[in-house]
Amino acid sequence: MVDFKDPELFADAEDADIVKEAKRLQVEPTEYNFTERDVILYNLGIGATHEELQWVYEGDEDFGAIPTFGVVPQFVAASGFPSDWLPDYNPAKLLHGEQYMAIKAPIPTSGELVSDVRLMEVLDKGKAAACTLCTQTRDKRTGQVIFENHQTSFIRGSGGFGGKRVGSDRGASTAENTPPKRAPDAVVEEQTQPIQAALYRLSGDYNPLHIQPEFAAIGGFAKPILHGLCSMGISGKHVFKTFGAYKDIKVRFAGVIYPGETLVISMWKEGNKVIFTTKVKERDSPVLTAAGVTLVDDSTKAKL
């Protein structure tokens, strides 16, 4: 297990001085206590239906969380990590760029989890900064690591501080996941519901961008938009239903979805990986790119 108390964790000789100092920042662990109700609420938030009892009925013998639930316990921890050390930092100019989540142990349906977060990598993109946080979520009682998340955000207007411009290769976490030049092995469509964002926000992301029209208008949107992590969850759900269990998932957020629009998820199986893309059908607009999962077992499909 990574020692999040190590002040030199993720140290890099190429970093600018302000980045070296920021990487030494440590914040208090964040607790996440949850019950089966929270699991059901998340599953419903990413489109589970009343017919999928393994996801919406706690009494079902196969009841469990859809794998992307792992983005929920870490959200408050990652959101609370300071970014005001960046030059000309403006939170309104922050964009969620990429998300990687690894599943390290069976996902519980209730319990007490603790998340530790540290700054993992910072890139100077000239007119912007790209900051990646690493959040490790463990069982409070046993210390068992359940999830590891890498969240990359782009902060416009905060570049020009020097240091690294090109990121390190972290395997599945940074893979480009370019679709092969052939027809997809599977294509699935799901129409999101007009209430999708209002429902998903109850899993912890209360940003008014996703619910209040006036706030969305300030951001330049015609109406509130769907959470990026919700589109990741919907897509990850269909990869799971089509190809089976996976041990990690990575996506790049490439566009917005308005609740009620239809998502088209195209999937290509390449060995033990499934590469996928997600777009909005009505506007033929990309939503998720550079996306992929690593299958637990590439020879069988999960029994659903």
Catalytic residue among 47, 70, 204, 228: 228
Q: At what angle do helices 36-45 and 228-243 cross, to 10 degrees?
A: 90
3-state SS, residue 239: helix
Q: 70: burial class by Cβ within 10 Å (0-12, 13-18, 19+)? A: buried
Active site residue 96: no
- Rounded CA gap, 14 and 258, in Å? 40
What the block records as the tokens of 235 is: 């897509």
Active site residue 210: yes
Active site residue 17: no
Catalytic residue among 46, 70, 150, 210: 210
Q: What is the DSSP string of 27-56?
A: ---EEEEE-HHHHHHHHHHTT--TT-HHHH
Distance of CA 144 to the CA centre of its chain: 21
- Tokens 């390190």 locate to 168
- Rounded CA gap, 105 and 145, in Å? 7
For the chain, how many residues are written? 304
Active site residue 60: no
Catalytic residue among 15, 124, 205, 248: 205
Question: Are 242 and 186 spatial neighbours (Cβ–Cβ below 8 Å)?
Answer: yes
Catalytic residue among 40, 225, 249, 275: 225
Smallest CA-to-CA distance from 146 within 211, 69, 52, 225 is with: 69
In Å, what is the CA distance from 109 to each residue of 27, 130, 171, 249?
27, 34, 29, 20
Looking at the annotation, which residues are catalytic? 205, 210, 225, 228
